[in-house]
Amino acid sequence: MSQQNSPQKNFPKNQSLPGEHPKEKHDHETIRFPQGFLWGAATSAHQVEGNNTSNDWWEWEQKHQPFDLRSGQACDQYNRYESDFELIKSLNHNSHRLSVEWSRIEPLEGEFDQAEIDHYIKVLKKLKELNITVMLTLWHFTLPKWVADKGGWENGKTVEYFVRFVKKIVPEIADFVDLWVTLNEPGVYIYETYIDRAWPHAKKSWLGQVKTFLNLTSAHKKAYKYLHSLFPAGKPVGIANNILSFESYHKHSFKEQITVSLNDLLANHLFYFFTRGTHDFLGINYYFHIRFKGKRWTPQKSEIGGQIHDVSDLGWEIYPEGIFEVLTDFADDIPIYITECGIASTNDDRRNRFLISYLQEVARAIKAGVNVRGFFYWSLIDNFEWHLGFEPRFGLVEIDYKTQQRHIRPSALVYTDIIQNNGIPHSLLRFLGHTVQAEEVLEKREKEMEKKQEEISNFNNIEIANKS
Ligand code: BGC
């Protein structure tokens, strides 16, 4: 088309052509978060401390897991907490989520170890000296061996044992704790024990599941009541719950929609429903987006139009929009903390993208009116990922397990940039939009899993042979 005939010619300058979108003004502004927002990372005792020899996990690891899948020294944070916390400070985190290990404090029934209590006082005091807001979890998956031997959470008495432990430890450490999390992910605990059966006490038992569920609800309610009687005016109490984003593959499929609703009810809402009225905040751990297709769910390879979605090293789909969906779904009068959200990846570029894209969605939810008060990345350091051992790398800080050296990953500094700006500076958006490598990652993962499975069954066969 010649210049003369071009439709452009008859249009005044700067005016857009019919059908053409007017140029959007490019926005270079930082995506801001509310003032006082908590920025931190999360860990749990058994995953980082090392040598938690008195709990059920330790015992199970020695019996059922090959050497490289046992927690052992873990990250040796029991001895290295001071330098780890100084690292947190240097990264500008203003808060931290961690847990106390019940089996250290009460290694034998009714016998409390004052030296271990003093240890936790020192740990928490250190965080306070650094002016870090402390969110403390009282139970994060492990039980003292003696509690497990009596039936663990299936046994109604465990509620009493737990409350006795809470009543012992809380007054000792209360000065150094700002927010309490009574329980971590009751649903995941039940799923891994009774459905996936990959964790200690694994068994098939509907009754066991129901009892565990009810006892955990009762443990939370009692601990909540006690904590409230101590601090009527403050120190909010909640739980950290794994909340999944569910979707049906076909929007028109009634069956799939029903599956979505049922799973949403059971996995996301049931515990809150049974414990309603006993949450000062909602703690949301967000990791999963699951599409239901026909009878199947497709948690890993989510194929849409032949394209596989990006996944983490664990094959978990990367789906930032999901965090927006769960946040808006849970929006209530009660504040929300994202108590965990993170990616297992040895490719730190992916962690950068993950952080920025997920936090963009959190900001969008806040803009839409959701009262989100803080974000705890999982995890501060690489650590012991339960039955999967040390291979999944979730950390902002890399651990060399041979030397226990800490190496700050570039993504940790991207997170620091966000924290210092209390928002996502426009300059960081350059990290978004890289290629999707899902297929490659999934192939590698499948091979690794096969190898692991082989190792585990070889190990168990040797054990059985030795016993017989
Ligand atoms: C748990 C952590 C775990 C993380 C990553 C959460 O379910 O609270 O203990 O390491 O997810 O799998």
Show me where the domains of the chain are located.
Answer: 30-454
For 342, residues 6+ apart whose C-beta sits below 8 A from its C-beta are 287, 354, 377, 378, 379, 394
44 in contact with ligand 1, CB cutoff 6 A = yes
Mean of all residue pLDDT scores within the chain: 90
End-to-end Cα separation, the chain, in angstroms: 88
pTM: 0.89
Substitution candidate for ligand 1 out of 191, 340, 377, 384 with most atoms within 8 A of CB: 340
Pick from 6-10, 241-245, 326-330, 388-392: least confident = 6-10
Whole-number pLDDT of residue 24: 56
Residue with the bigger pLDDT between 164 and 433: it is 164
Rounded-to-integer distance, Cα 386 and Cα 153, Å: 18
Instruction: Give the per-residue pLDDT at 231.
Output: 84
| pLDDT of 243 above 80 | yes
Bridge partners for 107 per DSSP: none
CA distance 265 to 258: 10
Question: What pLDDT, on a 0 to 100 scale, did the predictor assign at position 458?
Answer: 81
Which tokens is 86 given?
A: 């100084």
Which sign does the torsion angle of CA 421, 426, 429, 430 carry? Answer: negative
Q: Is the CB of 71 under 6 A from ligand 1?
A: no
Angle, CA of 24, 29 and 32, to the nearest 5°: 125
3-state secondary structure of 438: helix
Letter for the amino acid at 334? I
Closest among 198, 194, 216, 249 to 139, alpha carbons compared: 216
d(CA 100, CA 137): 7
**23: CA distance to ligand 1 center in Å?**
44
**Where does the pLDDT of residue 467 fall: very low under 50, low under 70, confident under 90, or very high at 90 and above?**
low
Residue 302: is the preceding peptide bond cis (ω within 30°)? no
* CATH architecture of the domain formed by 30-454: Alpha-Beta Barrel (3.20)
The pLDDT, as a whole number, for residue 28 is: 79
pLDDT band at 301 (very low <50, low <70, confident <90, very high): very low
Is residue 174 within 8 A of residue 166, CB to CB? The reply is no
Does 57 sit in the ligand 1 pocket, CB within 6 Å?
Answer: no
Q: Given this model, what pLDDT does residue 7 score?
A: 41
Please compute the mean of the pLDDT values over residues 106-127 and round it to a whole number. Answer: 98
**Alpha carbon distance 170, 226 (integer Å):** 10
What is the average pLDDT across 404-423? 96
The protein residue with its alpha carbon nearest to ligand 1, atom 9, reads 44
Calculate how far, in angstroms, residue 149's C-alpha sits from the geometric centre of ligand 1: 24
pLDDT, mean of residues 209-220: 98
Q: Name the pairing type of β-strands 31-32 and 423-424.
A: antiparallel
Alpha carbon nearest to ligand 1 atom 5, residue? 385
* Helix runs in 251-372, H state only: 254-263, 270-274, 321-330, 348-367
If you write DSSP's letter for every residue of 344-401 in order, what string do you get? --S-HHHHHHHHHHHHHHHHHHHHTT--EEEEEEE-SB----GGGTT-S---SEEEET
Atom of ligand 1 nearest to the CA of 394: 5
Please name the residue whose Cα sits nearest to atom 12 of ligand 1.
385
Return the higher-pLDDT residue of 190 and 315.
Answer: 190
Model confidence at 296, pLDDT cuts 50, 70, 90, reads low
Asked if residue 376 lies in contact with residue 40, where contact means CB atoms within 8 angstroms, the answer is yes
CA of 285 to the centre of ligand 1 (A): 8
Is the pLDDT at 199 greater than 90? The verdict is yes
In this structure, what token pair is assigned to residue 366?
Answer: 């806040």
| 26-31: average pLDDT | 80
Lowest mean per-residue pLDDT among 130-139, 286-295, 337-346, 434-443: 434-443
Q: Beta strand 245-248 with 282-285: parallel, antiparallel or unpaired?
A: unpaired
Q: Could you tell me the pLDDT band of residue 3, with boundaries at 50, 70 and 90? A: very low
pLDDT beyond 70 at 9? no
Distance 394 CA to ligand 1 centre (A): 10
Other beta carbons within 10 angstroms of residue 28's beta carbon come to 9
- Whether the CB-CB separation of 377 and 415 falls below 8 Å is answered with yes
